[in-house]
Chains A and B, each alone.
Chain A
Amino acid sequence: MSASGLGYNEQGGEAATEQGQEATPTTAPSVPAAFGLFSSDTKKNEDLKQMLESNKDSAKLDAMKRIVGMIAKGKNASELFPAVVKNVASKNIEIKKLVYVYLMRYAEEQQDLALLSISTFQRALKDPNQLIRASALRVLSSIRVPIIVPIMMLAIKEASADLSPYVRKNAAHAIQKLYSLDPEQKEMLIEVIEKLLKDKSTLVAGSVVMAFEEVCPDRIDLIHKNYRKLCNLLVDVEEWGQVVIIHMLTRYARTQFVSPWKEDGVLEEENEKDFYESDEEQKEKDQKVKKPYAMDPDHRLLIRNTKPLLQSRNAAVVMAVAQLYWHLAPKSEAGIVSKSLVRLLRSNREVQYIVLQNIATMSIQRKGMFEPYLKSFYVRSTDPTMIKTSKLEILTNLANEANISTLLREFQTYVKSQDKQFAAATIQAIGRCATNISEVTDTCLNGLVCLLSNRDEIVVAESVVVIKKLLQTQPAHHGEIIKHMAKLLDTITVPVARASILWLIGEYCERVPKIAPDVLRKMAKSFTNEDDLVKLQILNLGAKLYLTNSKQTKLLTQYILNLGKYDQSYDIRDRTRFIRQLIVPNEKSGALSKYAKKIFLAQKPAPLLESPFKDRDRFQLGTLSHTLNTKATGYLELSNWPEVAPDPSVRNVEVIELGKEWSVALGKAKKEKPTEKFYSDAEEEESASTTDTESESTSESEKEENGKEEGSSMENSESSSEELSDSESESKEGTAKKKFKTIEESDSDDPEKKTKMISKKKESSGSSGSESSSTEESSSDSESESDSESDVESRKPKNAIASKRKEMSVPERKASTKQDVSLLDLDDFNPVSTPVAVPTPAILSPSLVADLEGLSLSRSSVIDVSSPIFVPMKTHELLHRMSGKGLAAHYHFSRQPCIYGNQMVSVQVTLTNTTDQKLENIHVGERKLPAGMKMHVFNPIEFLEPEESITVSMGIDFCDSTQTASFQLCTKEDNFNVNIQPPIGELLLPVTMSEKDFKTEQGMLTGMNETSATITVAPQNSTRLVLLEKVVKAANLGVVPSGQDNIHRFAAKTVHSGSLMLVTVELKEGSTAQLIINTEKTVIGSILLRELKPVLSQG
């Protein structure tokens, strides 16, 4: 009980209520004043007991608060156990919570009594409310009473199959608790971990990986199947979970992939990009097998998926990603982490300290990473010393010929710092720079000699030590410096410095023949008062002088040896004995004394001035062990890369097979996936719009079209707008969409589930149809839905309510499954939390639209890609026959959806042989594509007869930009550089949509997304037909039926990203027109606007 609490009480009960305003929970305002009068502890506890027995909740609460106060102060409150535990079933939540707090603290000590509470928890574990279940599990597992281990085990098993992800999360936490209570349960717990690892909820992922790390970090085999899922979920996991998962995956990757470092030179961006390119690239690859290292796509997946986390606000996450890049990424890519690490230096001192240490280790090995940020490590006078020294360490590591002069100037300021410890460290740093960079050795040495006249002893001493080391590396010209230092012996008192000077004089005694004996004389005088370190060096000096100049120093040396013989330190006595035997000739010391001179005056190797962080890289970065530079308990060694990668197929979860089957089944003319599953898989996980999901959606929309062929476009669009609003409600909560997507991806783990997915998809597209007027369809749809219903339900996390609602109508159930899809079931307990209100499409935010793009739903069902209205036959020259040595090439845009990839524009290239010889082996050579651009080339043409021409098609992904794609067109003999620049109008695919949809979409793409211009329209263009013709000729747009004569609308979507491009031409009086373009791709929009202007204004 705090003193303040007592104070209040003493003032009397009447005042207590008013006091309550400032009173704290610890004070007990409603407690009778009498309590304050009791002073002894036992008495007070009696009162507490009484209060706990009382019928009033307020009294109990006050008692509990006081008890918690006691616990917080570390006072023993265990004797209250029986009184407290009775209240575990209290109705009052706060009392209950405080009892839990108490239980967790004392249950271990009072095991018998603690059992009294168990039944309450067991009952709560069956509670329909997930939060009650979760908290019951949490407290139950926190009570460290071995008897209840079996109960806990049961509870964990049950909870791990709970429908609520929150309960499962708590189950994962409980695993660790149980394991520490009873390690014998390990095997059973591993089973539970295995099960929970398969969980698809982001809520569970972090906790279960944590449990995995605690219980069975060596069971790497459990991760295989979940690896890709974890990578994909990572962004959406809560931040603490991210740290744990990243560290675990780092270890995992080190055992599963081969080193990407072996030939970092060869390994280039292009190489990796190839990898992720679609299948056809593969064939080409096979032709040039020369590339020896290819990164496993799973390896790449991890590296790619962790990158966005560098932007996290959580320093631990950023550091985790940084160490992952350091340990796993190709050397050329690790550099991207430096910027984020430097950002962390703005954080609190503790974070700075850890980050600086890690940077120090990194900067030793790869200077280049942090060189651009040199100035961020400049020291401020307000930094704490430990930060200063770490920064200094990094600056020293980064020093090179180019920046050393600026650095030395900076160091000069530091040397003068009032923080002497730091000044000394700076001198060390200067010494290191001097040895590492030979250009500045002399400058540094001179600077250090100047420091010898500094007033501060620590600075001088440090300088002496450093100069000693420097002189050793440069044994040439230093008679003067040694003389100078010999003089310092009179003033310097720091032992290390004195010892250093003595050693120097001894070592180079032949260069200072006059001074050396004199120094020895002086030292002999003060020998007894010296520090051990100095004494040893005096002995050394004596021995060396004895050997070189025995005439002058023989007696002196013997005197010193005698002094040493009776020294208190056995170390010195030993040394004395040893030296005497060695140098003073007598009968016993036969053989060795001949070599004494060689022994003492041998050439000594120069000391290496190294960073103290030199050997830290043996520890994984970002770990406690790294910070301490010793192995901490429980540190898991990062294994070396395997020579040969273990079978990568263990991570495969049969999904591609199915995808293929499916697309075939749907009659989609899709190119066969390559035999290697990986590539397609990796591609599938590609961030924005994946081939897989897109093909899904396309096929889905196709399906839809097939289903209601006769359905007018009007109806079609209506249903699609419905659907849009549907999916909107679903994805309303920001990240839900992302999660949703990842779920879909990870869902595909299992063939069965996949089929379910499909059926569900069909269902959703179908059901949107059902909402439209056609009732027949709706009935058939709901039928198919109920087929798939049961298994979908059983698979998804559902809850008591969901099952209760099973009786309800079909669309009702549909809604519930839909919510299940959005990962977390909210409907269970708080109706407010579920954003049921379906907003009208008008306020659908563009962000949602953008986010929806990646999903397989929505977009394609809203707007269907249609065939082009007009295919211009205009050809562009690719290669003139003169420059092509007879080979001529032209290209034109076929405006057909490209068969090579959904994001590609198809280009028809016509090759003509104008020579009179056969041209052989025409193929595409080296490509120079801007970042992100991809290209699918035509198959090499074996030969082309004279005067013959051939048309081949290519696919180019321009990434929605008008950048040129440059490549080489090669024949057997020659290479020609050619390039294709797409007109903006060719980067589009026409879409059909209703006027209503158009307006809806347009309404969403206002503001920044709108560009417009007023133009003068040539009179002949003002008729509808001409205008349409002109526009579609210029750009691959689809015509939107318009109700008004003077307004013409066109719609398309960009090939790469699928963003809508809406063009409106509104004819006004006086032959002017308003040209409006709405698109998210504002750049393309404005270019298109510019191109369309002349088309309409000129005749």
Chain B
Amino acid sequence: MIDSKLVHSTPPPITKWQELTSAKLEHEHLMMNLQFAKKIVTLAAVFFRWTWIELLQNRDPLGRQSVSSTCTPLGSTMIHSLFLINSSGDIFLEKHWKSVVSRSVCDYFFEAQERATEAENVPPVIPTPHHYLLNVYRHKIFFVAVIQTEVPPLFVIEFLHRVVDTFQDYFGVCSEVVIKDNVVVVYEVLEEMLDNGFPLATESNILKELIKPPTILRTVVNTITGSTNVGDQLPTGQLSVVPWRRTGVKYTNNEAYFDVIEEIDAIIDKSGSTITAEIQGVIDACVKLTGMPDLTLSFMNPRLLDDVSFHPCVRFKRWESERILSFIPPDGNFRLLSYHVSAQNLVAIPVYVKHNISFRDSSSLGRFEITVGPKQTMGKTVEGVMVTSQMPKGVLNMSLTPSQGMHTFDPVTKLLSWDVGKINPQKLPNLKGTMSLQAGTSKPDENPTINLQFKIQQLAISGLKVNRLDMYGEKYKPFKGIKYMTKAGKFQVRT
């Protein structure tokens, strides 16, 4: 009896409130003209009230004089302003969270940029007489945050990266053109991400509820119906105890995919022996499940994982005690976990590079030959192989013949790249030829370093294996998929 009462009586009041609010708003709109008149009345009331108070306090009734004096920047903002600058030095977007900072502050940045010659070398923190400029460089755009007071620099940097990630998430790519085209959405998103310079909503799930990302379909619908990008339903995520998950998620096909991607960072020396090698891995998930699923993911060999960092959804205690990942996933794509494989485990290097690069003192010709071959690949094919090398300045041109794939050499940047593709163990890919050197210059001190990229599907080089994935809390049977991949991270061969 009591039970049934409870169930019936709970929901109605809530919906009623919502109706009420919207009805009220509508009314407001209809009475627009009337309202203006009303507003003036209220305004007058406000004025009267405050003039009175001001008078009591014996101050200038409008307080205007004190504006300049009391508005002195006491530095109550973490991030004061944000400027977006493209590679040619144009400020194409600015946003201020407090009073406006003149864009001339960016001159200090341009100075530093000039000094650094390369974009990568621009110092992330630039002090100026009154401000500090913290910047990150991504997608050929500098995101320059202006701050005024002491703040942990990583706080700002991490936040700026989060902004870039959000843009990428919203628009697919993050480029100057896209930002310019979506300037209103960008502005709205920035408005939600920071309040008074302090991060407010940074979870993309929540943001997407607040401001819908533009899609082609929606743009069409918007133009026809005049509806908007802004979510009409107020978001709940921020207030829920699972702030990273949207509520009311529904899918017809319930799927959960997990990609275990491992990257090998290695430095191989001239003779082919490994100087340093480590495996860093991530588990990226794409979870499209209805409702509030509670997932657990367990590994066959969790000991392999040495140092891990989690998405906030993962229950830390559970990992500590049982080495099981237990979490309520966010909706959509997210990085569940990144890990480092303990240093004790020797890293199996899946490829080798044989190289013979030599410059001769007298002649202006140099020899160049490299061969790439598989090594310890557990029977899997190495694919997507790409060799790049920054040749010394003295190299004018190269005439090379590859046994497979395409190669290019840019005589301006001196960058050699060779798209090898798959490695066929029977017929190892090989690139051979000569380099022509600038006449008169002496031979370079150092042979170029070779950077390697490759992919191996269906293999996690560390041997990590997912044992099982279980879902609780929901009744349907989801489709579960797990993929393994090994990639080259920062893989360098010194020659």
Contact = CB atoms under 8 A, between A and B. Distances in A.
Interface residues of B, number: 170
B5 A93 contact: no
B294 A830 contact: no
B242 A811 contact: no
Contacts of B475: 843
Interface stretch (A17-25, A266-274, A508-516, A590-598): A17-25
A798 interface: no
Interface string B70-94: 1101111110000000000001111
B202 interface: yes
B124 A354 contact: yes
Contact of A119 (B42, B202, B267): B42
Contacts of B147: 624
A653 interface: no
A131 B238 CA distance: 10
B360 interface: no
Interface stretch (A110-118, A639-647, A1012-1020, A1027-1035): A110-118
Contacts of A2: 180, 183
A1043 interface: no
Interface stretch (A393-401, A801-809, A962-970): A801-809
Contacts of A455: 442, 445
A119 B43 contact: yes
A203 B238 CA distance: 9
A949 B324 CA distance: 49
B161 A207 contact: no
B6 A815 contact: yes
B29 A734 contact: no
B316 A105 contact: no
B276 A378 contact: yes
A287 interface: no
Interface stretch (A192-200, A312-320, A484-492, A933-941): A312-320
Interface string A167-188: 0001001001101111110000
Nearest to B201: A238
A827 B320 CA distance: 33
Nearest to A351: B157
Contacts of A381: 390, 449, 451, 492
B275 A183 contact: no
A847 interface: yes
B326 A847 contact: yes
A144 B5 contact: no
B66 A624 contact: no
B111 interface: no
Contacts of B222: 20
B392 A418 contact: yes
Interface string A731-757: 011111011000000000000000000
A4 B176 CA distance: 13
Interface stretch (A67-75, A289-297, A785-793, A875-883): A67-75
Interface stretch (B46-54, B251-259, B418-426, B455-463): B46-54
Interface stretch (A425-433, A494-502, A629-637, A710-718): A629-637
A847 B471 CA distance: 11
Interface in B157-182: 157-161, 180-182
Given A146-B63, A382-B451, A847-B315, A65 B123 contact: no
Nearest to A147: B63
A378 B275 contact: yes
B177 to A, nearest CB: 9
Contact of A314 (B74, B158, B296, B318): B158
B74 A308 contact: no
A311 B316 contact: yes
Nearest to A850: B318
Interface stretch (B192-200, B378-386, B398-406): B192-200
Chain A binding surface SS class: helix
Given A384-B118, A847-B315, A733 B150 contact: no
Contacts of B243: 238
A604 to B, nearest CB: 34
Contact of B294 (A92, A847, A1008): A847
Contacts of B240: 733, 824, 826, 833
Given A214-B76, A624-B125, A382 B492 contact: yes
A82 B267 CA distance: 64
Given A119-B46, A633-B150, A845-B472, A91 B276 contact: no
Contacts of A473: none
A904 B177 CA distance: 66
A339 interface: yes
A835 B184 CA distance: 35
A100 B318 CA distance: 44
B5 A829 contact: no
A613 to B, nearest CB: 15
Given A376-B278, A417-B446, A628 B3 contact: no
Contacts of A69: 183-184
Contacts of A61: 226, 228
Interface stretch (A341-349, A520-528, A906-914, A915-923): A341-349
A89 interface: yes
A65 B125 contact: no
Interface in B120-153: 120-121, 123-125, 127, 132, 135-138, 147-153
B127 A628 contact: yes
Interface stretch (B12-20, B349-357, B363-371, B429-437): B12-20
B136 to A, nearest CB: 5
A144 B275 CA distance: 58
Contacts of B327: 734
Given A26-B184, A94-B230, A622 B152 contact: yes
B241 A386 contact: no
A454 B446 CA distance: 12
**Counting chain A CB atoms within 10 Å of each CB, which of B158, B241, B276 scores highest?**
B241
B15 A831 contact: yes
A885 interface: no
A130 interface: yes
5 contacts: A20-B219, A177-B196, A183-B70, A381-B449, A845-B294
Given A71-B187, A170-B195, A316-B158, 10 more contacts: A20-B222, A23-B219, A23-B223, A26-B180, A353-B124, A413-B494, A416-B445, A454-B445, A832-B236, A847-B315
- 9 tightest A-B CB contacts, nearest first: A845-B472, A634-B149, A94-B228, A20-B223, A180-B76, A416-B446, A24-B181, A847-B326, A375-B276
